[in-house]
Structure 1
Amino acid sequence: MLLIRSIIYFFLAVILASTVVLGLWLDVCWLQDKLGEVSVTEILQESILAVIVFIHFKLVKDSAHMRECHLLIGGFFLAMLIRELDGLFDLISHGSWVWFALSTSVAIIAYTARNYRQALDDLARYPLMPYYGMMISGLLCILVFSRLFGMHLLWETVLREQYVRVVKNMVEEGAESFGYVLCLTSSIGYYFYQRKAEHNSYNERPTE
């Protein structure tokens, strides 16, 4: 049974990774898009972030353990989602996404601060949990690797007069999308791990 679940989990990860590449292909080859604010790739990234936020907020609601940790993680990805939706928030006011992300983050941090000892304990335990490594790898890919690898200076130096911005955008957005896939795969795996652990714990309770 464990082997079957592992195989299913692997193929789910393959499908997710293939989907973001398909999004890039549709943007560049079919839609002739330059990977701007409105593109298949951007929509996929926003959808992945929304699912990650939903998973962690659902764990806050359904799980008896690590609630503060999941609330903080969900809030972090919610701020990232708001950042990705900056074009939508620009309809309200240019750069207004900053205030929405900031207010959301402050509200969640203030809420968890009421039980800060438990929150700190949960955060200390989280690196010991399965799928943590995949989550960190995804965040490094999103926040560090894709940004550094997508620097204009790097691509202009390498390609010189053959520099085409869409190539740089495709590589940068592709790396970022892969990072989102890693974070989503980690969140899905952890959700089922947590639910199974709590189910087993409930069944092992001594009967009176």
Structure 2
Amino acid sequence: MLYLPEVRYTELGFTEFTQTLILASCCALLIYIRQVLKIWPTVTLLLLAFVSASLVREQDYFLDYYVADNTWKFVVALIVLPSLAWVIIHRQRFLDEFRYYSNTFSFGLFAAGVLVTYIFSRLYGRQDFWRAVLEESYIRDFKDIAEEAIELLGYSLILFATIELLFLARRIHRARQTP
């Protein structure tokens, strides 16, 4: 990337934009699976709540700057709390749907994406780790670049899981349409 070096690894950079694009794509696919194909509506609601909360969290810089500090927390609460309430109210339906979903390749990819994004990238991006590795050569940009790249990998796994779920949902939908 030889262009725009001042924003290369900031909230305006390619990596952050790509993360936003991936999460928005996952949201659109999950809405399609839930509303159009009508496959596992309770499970897909929970997945959608998680992915859309992640999308809002990725926009925290803009929400803080253009709206107010910590706005993202309020928006995430507006997404997650009603979704969790719905799943709890319909917990038996959720458990029935999850019994099938948990045995799919999509679930494995989704779980891997969540672990990579929310566990591994946080551990890998710890300042203590990078200070120990780089010692007096420590530069925060190295840590930030490594953490964002791992986060992008995790979000990509979540996108692949969502695409896999779409393929599975289309097969299930077609099977339901056939008499």
The TM-score with structure 2 as length reference comes to 0.91
From 98, 103, 127, the equivalent of 2:78 is: 103
Question: What letter is aligned with 2:103?
Answer: L
Higher RCO, Cα 8 Å, sep 6+: 2
From 2, 5, 9, the equivalent of 1:35 is: 9
Q: What does residue 176 of structure 1 align with?
A: 151
Task: Determine what percentage of the aligned residue pairs are the same residue.
Answer: 27
Matched, 1:65 2:54: no
Any residues of structure 2 matched to 1:69-148 within 5 Å, and which?
Answer: 69-90=43-64, 91-148=66-123
Shift, 1:168, TM fit: 1.3
Q: What does residue 47 of structure 1 align with?
A: 21
Q: What does residue 170 of structure 2 align with?
A: 195
Work out the CA distance in 2 between the residues paired with 1:109 and 1:164: 40
Provide the alpha-carbon RMSD of the alignment: 1.6
Work out the CA distance in 1 between the residues paired with 2:94 and 2:43: 6
Question: What letter is aligned with 1:63?
Answer: L
Structure-2 change in CA distance of 1:63 and 1:113 (3 Å): farther
Shift, 1:34, TM fit: 5.7
Q: What does residue 22 of structure 1 align with?
A: none
May I ask how many residue pairs the two structures share in their alignment? 177
Q: What does residue 150 of structure 1 align with?
A: 125
Shift, 1:192, TM fit: 1.5
Shift, 1:123, TM fit: 2.5
Work out the CA distance in 2 between the residues paired with 1:171 and 1:81: 20
Q: What does residue 21 of structure 1 align with?
A: none
Query: Structure 2: where are the runs of 5+ without partners?
Result: none
**Does the CA-based 8 Å contact 2:11-2:61 persist in structure 1?**
yes
**Does the CA-based 8 Å contact 1:138-1:178 persist in structure 2?**
yes
